[in-house]
Chain A
């Protein structure tokens, strides 16, 4: 059993046993450290027009996963099937015609836009790669600026002339240029001011509805992920520990890590904060270079038993979703 969606139709994106192992860092002595398994056999499906939220803390492998989905990284093993075709092993040349269907939005809008290119150039670049004429690409760029809430008259300006929120709109416009069916967004709002985040979240939701996009929305902020996702996968140290429908996952988390994560998020409500029972985890997430044996969460888990220290729990159904825990629920 893997993280399959409940719809009958063929998923747009299907990920199976996806793994990424990075070689260990070379020390001054010339010896390599142990290889780091950043993503360790994850599987999920995503239907067209839906959003999967990928949450977890730093080092959990969520960004590496995103980069494998768009093939900025070649997976060590496992498959990424997009619209029925496994893209995990395709050559760059064979990938090119597919690239227009899968695009990415990055965290820091300013550093992901070339400062020496005008907005016209930035947005139309993916189109030129796909063989559009310069005039057509420019017209399309202006339309996309309008679509993403920018002023088309600003098309010949440079990125530094835009605020953070506007720059992220440019990044989104660029990602939409080729009419993709899937957008992988890696922390698209976390570098933005709080008052601007809602604008971008709303924009992404509107675009999804209007264009029928599917998103993989990668973020550490559980409140934002709850807002935008249909389904949510919680990652810990390279593995999915819980995946399921958003509502049930947030209302009744089954994995002890999901529970701790949710209880750690401060609510903007002092009265609710005083009432709340908090699960404060001990210690830090372990290094993916030296993962603990058994369940990788066991050193921080208050429910850990002997079996958790020796046997890795697999994802299995618990309370209408999948949980990788020997003792799900309470």
Chain B
């Protein structure tokens, strides 16, 4: 007997853009899985490839991007599907929400019409049924007076309400997988707390698999079961959220965590910081992308790219791409 395939399985994903200034490998050799009812947090800074990854999984990457590797949803391979076949999966079995809901909502149609339209396309439902579905969904995501608000236009909604409406639209067709790309970055912190709570509740009720893409390690710590840290288009480290935050093994992960100003720690000593800036993908170095900023870097790091391999004593999955995974510099050891 074979185990059921994971909800989402991505293997050896590569996304390459050809630009006037050269070829950009935005994502390279990336693999991960997401199980139903679980949340994978993908963390990275600008240029890390986290958003390109989510678009490639959805088949929404820009024309001209070359995508290779495998993306399978509940065992069904999605790469190589025609646009028509993909449309039937996208929005129906997997859905996505973005940072800026206003740019994903059409300003000329009411919020209710947009959710209903989405439902009609996938379920061939009648107008009345679709309209009822839209109102129900708005109520479910916590919008007060959903029947009245369904008749309003996006500009009449606040930022938090718009993101709720986007979630309502994303979930109207009961997808199995929700990809959320920086869904709370544009929101105030008290509204962010509401939206994260909403996603967690809906996940529990529906057994949704969630991919949460963010630059905010606090958001990841709050919602993710598993965490994948990306740097320069590649996986740097992946582990359970508990292991990653308690025992970060990649110098980048450790550097990021150390450099965060935090509410729950004293702030008398200077903040440890990572020198330099995230790398350009136009001219990737032959070795480890983090080597120029790494306190631990040796000659080997600039010559040989580290493989993404298991780390530790073979407990739960913890993979790291570093020649010196887990090793600390003397300065780090004293902290």
Give me the interface of A with B, judged by CB distance under 8 Å.
57-58, 163-166, 193-199, 201-202, 205, 220-224, 226-227, 250, 260-273, 278, 280-281, 284-285
Question: Are B217 and A226 within 8 A (Cβ)?
Answer: no
> A224-B261, A267-B263, A272-B221 are known contacts; what are 12 more A-B pairs with Cβ within 8 Å?
A164-B46, A194-B45, A198-B272, A201-B271, A202-B270, A223-B263, A226-B267, A250-B263, A270-B222, A271-B242, A284-B161, A285-B188
- The chain B residues found within 8 Å of chain A, CB to CB, are 45-46, 158-161, 188-194, 196-197, 215-222, 224, 241-242, 245-246, 252, 255-257, 259-264, 267, 270-275, 277-278, 293
**CB-defined contacts of B260 to chain A, threshold 8 Å:** 194, 198, 223, 268
A203 and chain B: residue at smallest CB distance: B273
Which of B161, B193, B274 meets A195, CB within 8 Å? Answer: B274
Contact B267 A195 (CB under 8 A): no
Specify which chain B residues have a CB less than 8 angstroms from the CB of A58 in the assembled complex: 188
Contact yes or no, A205 B270, CB < 8 A: yes
Q: Which 4 A-B pairs have the closest CB atoms?
A: A266-B218, A198-B273, A198-B259, A57-B188
Asked if A193 and B277 sit within 8 Å, CB to CB, the answer is yes
Please, which residues of chain B bring their CB within 8 A of the CB of A198? 259-261, 271-274
Min CB distance, B310 to chain A, in Å? 21
B261 / chain A contacts, CB cutoff of 8 Å? 197-198, 201, 221, 223-224, 226-227
- Can you spell out 20 A-B residue pairs with CB atoms less than 8 angstroms apart? A57-B188, A165-B277, A193-B45, A193-B277, A194-B256, A195-B273, A195-B278, A202-B271, A220-B189, A226-B263, A250-B263, A264-B192, A266-B216, A268-B217, A268-B262, A270-B222, A270-B241, A270-B242, A272-B221, A284-B159
Given contacts A194-B217, A198-B273, A281-B194, contact A272 B189 (CB under 8 A): no
Residues in B neighbouring A266, C-beta threshold 8 A:
192, 196, 216, 218-219, 221-222
A272 proximity list for chain B (CB < 8 A): 221, 264
Query: Which of A58, A198, A263, A273 has the largest count of B CB atoms less than 10 A from its CB?
Result: A198
Evaluate contact between B221 and A202: CB separation under 8 angstroms.
no
A270 CA to B193 CA in the complex, in Å?
A: 15
In the complex where A194-B260, A195-B45, A198-B271 touch, is A268 in contact with B221 (Cβ < 8 A)? yes
> Cβ of A261: which chain B residues have Cβ within 8 Å of it?
189-190
Bound CA–CA A195/B197 (angstroms): 27
B317 nearest CB across to chain A (Å): 16
Min CB–CB distance A306 → chain B (angstroms)? 23
Question: A201: nearest residue on chain B (CB-CB)?
Answer: B271
Contact A222 B194 (CB under 8 A): no
Asked if A195 contacts B219 (CB within 8 A), the reply is no
Contacts of A262 in B (CB 8 A): 263
A165, B45: Cα distance in complex, Å: 13
Which of A164, A270, A271, A281 is the one whose CB lies under 8 Å from B190?
Answer: A281
B256 touches A267 (CB 8 A): no
Q: Which of B217, B246, B263, B273 neighbours the largest number of chain A CB atoms within 10 Å of its CB?
A: B263
Could you tell me the distance between the alpha carbons of A199 and B158 in the complex, rounded to whole angstroms? 34
In the complex, are the beta carbons of B270 and A280 less than 8 A apart?
no
- Chain A residues near B270 (CB-CB < 8 A): 202, 205
Chain A residues, CB < 8 A from B241: 270
A72 → chain B, closest Cβ, in Å?
24
CB distance from A276 to the nearest CB of B (A): 9
Taking the nearest CB of chain A, how far is it from the CB of B328, in angstroms? Answer: 18
